[in-house]
Amino acid sequence: MERIEEILNGVKTLGIGGHVRPDGDCVGSCMALYLYIRKYFPQIKADIYLESPKPVFHYISHIEDIKTEADGDRQYDLFVTCDVSSRDRLAVAGEYFEHAKKTACVDHHVSNLGFADVNHVEGEVSSACEVLYGLLDPEKVDKDIATAIYTGIVHDTGVFQYSSTTPKTMRIAATLMETGFNFSKIIDESFYQKTYLQNQVMGRVLAESIMLLDGRCIVGCMKKRDMDFYGVEGKDLDGVVSQLRLTQGVEVAMFLYEVESQVFKVSLRSNGKVDVSAIAVYFGGGGHMRAAGCDMAGSVYDVINNISEQIEKQLLGQDK
């Protein structure tokens, strides 16, 4: 696509959906598209489906319009996914995607092989929000739409620190800022700010982390019983793996938390030498070269050993 309008011809009903456990880029891209359609294509009845977004995104206009569950039988003329790398990662409205007359995918994951009728995937771009911005008329990106797009870019670039951040990314961010939203508040409240409980949990994970592979890999873990003790869920653990990555001498950070007995969500972050996307894909997950994840079953030791083995293979290959 050159412009989003190319897939809107004849469309009267539109569904928009994101991935499971939506992060800032997922929420931002889905909401930006929804707001754009709502304002400039009022003849289209648009619905947006996401798992309950975190309260930190409360400032995004019309976020209360999000539907958190499928609500009856319907067939959309078009269903668009944003920031979804594979069909099985689509949350809430999978049945609507399957039955839509036409489907489209807007994404930036290198692991996305294309699962929709129309696939607009730019694997080297910082975020799905940056990809989406390229499909919108920049003259029509108002303050509300800009706020949503900026949110996604900030979250998926780690506030412009990851290698996916390019001069083009910064120019887009500058253009968005010119619409007048409070950019520093967005960064503080949606990216950095943690509750006292979240800080306690992060502190415990950091204190109990272990170093592997001669200090080139660091691992943090939280078992289900400990999560229950603190009363936290997976969404409360954002930022833990990124903090682990900042440990001096580390090439890869691994953080896993138990969702049920011997079933773990695994997050991987790399400082550049290891392609964690390849590792995540090997275990049925996906993501980017420096940030990826997967689900794994087994004991905590099995999970750590299996992943660290793949990390070691890449490190040894680069050391030769």
Per-residue pLDDT of the chain (320 residues; tens, 9 = 90+): 899 999 999 999 999 999 998 999 999 999 999 999 999 999 999 999 999 999 999 999 999 999 999 988 899 999 999 999 999 999 999 999 999 999 999 999 988 889 999 999 999 899 999 999 999 999 999 999 999 999 999 999 999 988 889 999 999 999 999 999 999 999 999 999 999 999 999 999 999 999 999 999 999 999 999 999 999 999 899 889 999 999 999 999 999 999 999 999 999 999 989 999 999 999 998 888 888 999 999 999 999 999 999 999 999 987 66
| Cβ atoms within 10 Å, residue 205 | 21
- Asked whether 62 and 148 are in contact (CB, 8 A), the reply is no
Tell me, what's the pLDDT at 296? Answer: 97
Pick the closest to residue 240 from 225, 228, 255 (CA basis): 255
Structural domains in the chain, sorted by start: 4-192 (3.90.1640.10), 196-319 (3.10.310.30)
- Asked whether 285 and 297 are in contact (CB, 8 A), the reply is no
**Strand-by-strand arrangement of the 210-212 sheet:** 210-212, 217-222, 252-260, 263-270, 291-297, 286-287
Tell me, what's the pLDDT at 163? Answer: 83
Tokens of 228: 């229950």
Tell me, what's the pLDDT at 184? Answer: 96
Separation of alpha carbons 156 and 283, rounded Å: 22
Separation of alpha carbons 94 and 87, rounded Å: 8
Neighbouring-strand partners of residue 103 = 79
Rounded to 5 degrees, what angle do the CA atoms 248, 254, 258 make? 140
Tell me, what's the pLDDT at 68? Answer: 96
- Asked whether 129 and 25 are in contact (CB, 8 A), the reply is yes
Separation of alpha carbons 109 and 82, rounded Å: 11
Tell me, what's the pLDDT at 254? Answer: 98
Tell me, what's the pLDDT at 320? Answer: 61
Neighbouring-strand partners of residue 82 = 106
> Any idea of the CA torsion for 146, 149, 151, 157, to the nearest 10 degrees?
-130
